[in-house]
């Protein structure tokens, strides 16, 4: 028997420590295993825009155990049953996409908490519960889940302060591509209007005392860190592969 380990990633979010991460698009264990010792603070295992299933995520979570990189899992949607199963599979840092209101944020929090604080179905015989070996799991599980909500629409921007102040929300994470589309600049996340909205969103989150995150796939995360974001994704496995492959091929294919 043992006790539930503390969630050090959640603690780092609360302390507003700079946390540099990488997005993982490939539904493949060896790529995550390969990246696990690169030095990133976190790796995002994506289920919204990839072919990953719960089985895929379960094996990738194992690949990250005992490595310097924390696993953050993005579920496809704010769905109670899916979130429950993802947490049971051992996810401790959960990202939920496209949260548009404080009411939706409250729902997300409730799906990650056992009653009476929430609606998560109770089970301790899962990987998340150490297969019954975490003797304090029921007492501490609610407090050891880090919940990160994505801000990706103009509706979310309007309610961002209220979203940040929902108890149980550990961080808000800006999605530049969806936000750009919502603001009328699809495919133009670098547009001045979109960047101004991002700056304001970061400022709002920081003022509310919340950790703020954002993804940039081109490695240029410094401006967002300077603005106060602390959970910054600076690339993805897919973009790294494409850039390296294209550059290598171009060296030898000159015509």
Per-residue pLDDT in tens (0 to 9) along the chain, 255 residues: 799 999 999 999 999 999 999 999 999 999 999 999 999 999 999 999 999 999 999 999 999 999 999 999 999 999 999 999 999 999 999 999 999 999 999 999 999 999 999 999 999 999 999 999 999 999 999 999 999 999 999 999 999 999 999 999 999 999 999 999 999 999 999 999 999 999 999 999 999 999 999 999 888 999 999 999 999 999 999 999 999 999 999 999 876
CB 36 within 8 A of CB 168: no
CA distance 212 to 233: 11
Residue 1 within a domain: no
**Which one is catalytic: 37, 49, 191, 239?**
49
Token digits of residue 217: 């796939």
Q: Which long-range contacts (CB under 8 A, 24 or more apart) does 33-40 make?
A: 33/63, 35/69, 35/237, 36/63, 36/64, 36/67, 36/68, 36/69, 37/67, 37/68, 37/69, 38/69, 39/68, 40/68, 40/69
CA distance 43 to 72: 6
Residue 21 within a domain: yes
Residue 145 maps to which CATH number? 3.20.20.60
Residue 172 within a domain: yes
Judged by DSSP in three states, 247 sits in: helix
CA distance 245 to 239: 10
Residue 3 within a domain: no
Residue 60: closest CA among 36, 77, 78, 96: 36
Residues 6+ apart with CB under 8 A from 103: none
Residue 80 within a domain: yes
Segments forming the whole domain that contains residue 27: 8-252
Look up the pTM and report it. 0.96
- Strand-pair partners of 147: 94
Name the domain count of the chain. 1
CA distance 28 to 44: 13
Token digits of residue 219: 């490695």
Residue 137 within a domain: yes
Residue 213 within a domain: yes
Residue 118 within a domain: yes
191 part of the active site: no
């Amino acid at each position: 028997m043992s006790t539930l380990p503390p969630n050090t990633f959640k603690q780092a979010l609360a302390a507003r420590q700079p946390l540099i991460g990488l997005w993982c698009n490939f539904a493949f264990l060896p790529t995550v295993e390969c990246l696990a010792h690169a030095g990133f603070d976190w790796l995002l295992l994506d289920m919204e825009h990839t072919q990953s299933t719960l089985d895929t995520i379960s094996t990738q979570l194992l690949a990250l155990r005992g490595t310097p990189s924390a696993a953050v899992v993005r579920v496809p949607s704010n769905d109670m049953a899916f979130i429950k199963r993802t947490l049971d599979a051992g996810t401790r840092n959960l990202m939920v996409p496209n949260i548009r209101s404080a009411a939706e944020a409250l729902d997300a929090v409730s799906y990650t908490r056992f009653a009476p604080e929430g609606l998560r179905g109770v089970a301790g015989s899962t990987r998340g519960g150490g297969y019954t070996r975490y003797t304090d799991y029921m007492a501490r599980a609610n407090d050891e889940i880090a919940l990160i909500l994505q801000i990706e629409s103009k509706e979310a921007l309007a309610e961002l302060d209220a979203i940040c102040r929902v108890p149980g929300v550990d961080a808000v994470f800006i999605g530049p591509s969806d936000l750009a589309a919502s603001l009328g600049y699809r495919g133009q996340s670098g547009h001045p209007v979109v960047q101004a909205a991002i700056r304001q969103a970061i400022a709002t989150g920081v003022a509310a005392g919340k950790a703020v995150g954002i993804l940039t796939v081109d490695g240029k995360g410094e401006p967002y860190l300077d603005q106060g974001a602390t959970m910054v994704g600076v690339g993805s496995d897919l973009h790294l592969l494409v850039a390296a492959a294209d550059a290598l091929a171009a060296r030898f294919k000159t015509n």
